[in-house]
């Protein structure tokens, strides 16, 4: 007899003893089947910081399951493309706001934040701008107007921006292929002034520098920390640093943790800004995403989110996955068609990776 039944038995005896003969006692037996198991919290419900996903307007418009998954699991979105120069700055006299406005409004309508990605990226300058061959004075004057117009348009709506993305090459040298390096004798000074232009356009927006392999590449991390030091000395505003975290099942976890701790030592907000975990690390055409592989991926995600949770609360900003579903990951084109890097599968079901991500959250 279970404890519940004993208690119920005692209660019954008491009720009988206190009832007069003509009163009818009706017992409603407690249903023995267990109470419905508690519904698992979603990522955004459990996290004490924003959980973001890179999204595309066409997918939000075109697939209701995609939209529902974004709203259900995430509290922040990042435009995978639509808020970059190449998408907005279509000519020297025309801005195309349609897609950026759609995503800003989508976030507002669904009570989500939207992280602005990205104001200055060497890889997203539109061809008409590059072909104009502006000198440094004209170049900066036009970029200042662009930043002022874009950040100003979304003032109070886009509360954080990647002001600059991928300034440094592997090892920490300035990118050779960057148009900024060819135009400016002091590219870091130009970037610092771009942070100033963004601050002036929206004093409340959090301003980030974003790059990849930051926690793995000590040379790049040193260059970033040196830039932050110089920014602070020159009064250039910066609030946070993003490491994209495009990593893999076989990424060395100790190297990751050592670099992450070093990055956090800046004291700035830390954004894991484009998280995805490759599994087909050998780019094999015969790769199979087995349960064992899925479990390894889950453990990698758990390692990363529990590492992030070790940050002081005032340095936590967001963890953003670079995509919503394996079906639309950028990696099938960039890396290999047989790639399954995200938290939801092609049918928007939670993968073991989702459980691992969740388990790492406090
Ligand atoms: O939507 C337009 C279409 O209208 C146009 O006709 C066509 C012409 O090329 O371009 C389409 O836009 C594509 C866009 O994705 C939307 O799908 C661009 O060609 C294509 O270059 C763009 O790729 C994006 C890439 O950044 C370049 O902006 C990827 O989706 C996006 O995942 C990738 O994300 C970057 C981060 O911003 C920075 N970190 C690395 C990461 C991966 O490369």
Instruction: For residues 103 and 198, state if they share a domain.
Output: yes
Instruction: For residues 289 and 212, state if they share a domain.
Output: yes
DSSP string, 73-106: H-SEEEESSTTSHHHHEEETTEE--HHHHHHHHH
pLDDT of residue 285: 98
Annotated catalytic residue within 82, 113, 166, 339: 166
The DSSP symbol for 251 reads S
Closest listed residue to residue 243, CA positions, set 278, 276, 212: 212
Annotated catalytic residue within 82, 113, 140, 274: 274
- The Cα 45–Cα 49 span in angstroms is 10
- The Cα 274–Cα 256 span in angstroms is 15
Query: How does pLDDT run across 182-197, given as a tens digit for each residue?
Result: 999 999 999 999 999 9
CATH number at residue 326: 3.20.20.80
The answer to whether 209 touches 167, Cβ cutoff 8 Å, is: yes
- In angstroms, what is the span from residue 25 Cα to ligand 1's centroid? 71
Instruction: For residues 15 and 124, state if they share a domain.
Output: no
**Number of structural domains, the chain?**
2
Instruction: For residues 13 and 162, state if they share a domain.
Output: no
Q: Which domain holds residue 238?
A: 38-360
- Prediction pTM value: 0.91
Cβ-proximal residues to 186 (8 Å cutoff; 6+ apart), any chain:
none
Instruction: For residues 31 and 142, state if they share a domain.
Output: no
Instruction: For residues 134 and 24, state if they share a domain.
Output: no
Instruction: For residues 97 and 157, state if they share a domain.
Output: yes
Instruction: For residues 129 and 273, state if they share a domain.
Output: yes
DSSP string, 341-360: -SSB-TTSPBPHHHHHHHHH
Tokens encoding 189 = 């000074």
How many other C-beta atoms can be found within 10 angstroms of the C-beta atom of residue 239? 18
Any ligand 1 atom below 6 A from CB of 330? yes
Query: How does pLDDT run across 268-320, given as a tens digit for each residue?
Result: 999 999 999 999 999 999 999 999 999 999 999 999 999 999 999 999 999 99
């Amino acid at each position: 007899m279970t404890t519940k039944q004993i208690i119920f038995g005692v209660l019954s005896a008491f009720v009988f003893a206190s009832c007069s003969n003509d009163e009818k006692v009706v017992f409603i037996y407690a249903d023995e089947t267990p109470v419905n198991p508690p519904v698992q919290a979603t990522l955004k419900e459990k996290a004490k910081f924003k959980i973001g996903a890179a999204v595309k307007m066409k997918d939000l418009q075109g697939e209701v399951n995609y939209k529902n998954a974004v709203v259900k699991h995430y509290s922040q979105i990042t435009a995978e493309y639509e808020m970059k120069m190449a998408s907005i700055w279509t000519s020297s006299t025309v801005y195309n706001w349609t897609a950026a406005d759609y995503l800003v409004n989508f976030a507002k309508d669904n009570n989500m934040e939207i992280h602005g990605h990205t104001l200055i990226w060497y890889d997203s300058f539109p061809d008409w701008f590059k072909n104009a061959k502006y000198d440094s004075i004209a170049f900066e004057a036009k970029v200042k107007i662009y930043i002022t117009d874009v950040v100003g348009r979304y003032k109070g709506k886009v509360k954080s921006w990647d002001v600059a993305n991928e300034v440094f090459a592997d090892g920490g040298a300035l990118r050779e292929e960057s148009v900024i390096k060819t135009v400016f004798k002091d590219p870091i000074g130009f970037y610092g002034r771009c942070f100033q232009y963004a601050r002036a356009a929206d004093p409340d927006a959090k301003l980030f520098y974003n790059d990849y392999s930051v926690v793995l590449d000590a040379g790049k991390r040193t260059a970033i920390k040196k830039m932050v030091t110089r920014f602070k000395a020159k009064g250039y505003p910066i609030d946070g640093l993003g490491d994209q975290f495009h990593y893999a099942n076989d990424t060395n976890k100790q190297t990751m943790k050592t670099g992450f701790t070093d990055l956090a030592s800046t004291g700035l907000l830390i954004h894991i800004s484009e998280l995805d975990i490759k599994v087909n690390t050998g780019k094999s055409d015969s790769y199979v995403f087995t349960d064992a592989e899925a479990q390894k991926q889950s453990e990698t995600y758990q390692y990363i989110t529990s590492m992030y949770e070790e940050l002081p609360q005032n340095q936590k900003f967001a963890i953003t996955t670079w995509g919503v579903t394996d079906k639309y990951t950028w990696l099938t084109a960039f890396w290999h068609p047989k790639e399954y890097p995200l938290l939801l599968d092609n049918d928007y079901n939670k993968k073991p990776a989702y459980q691992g991500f969740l388990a790492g959250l406090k």
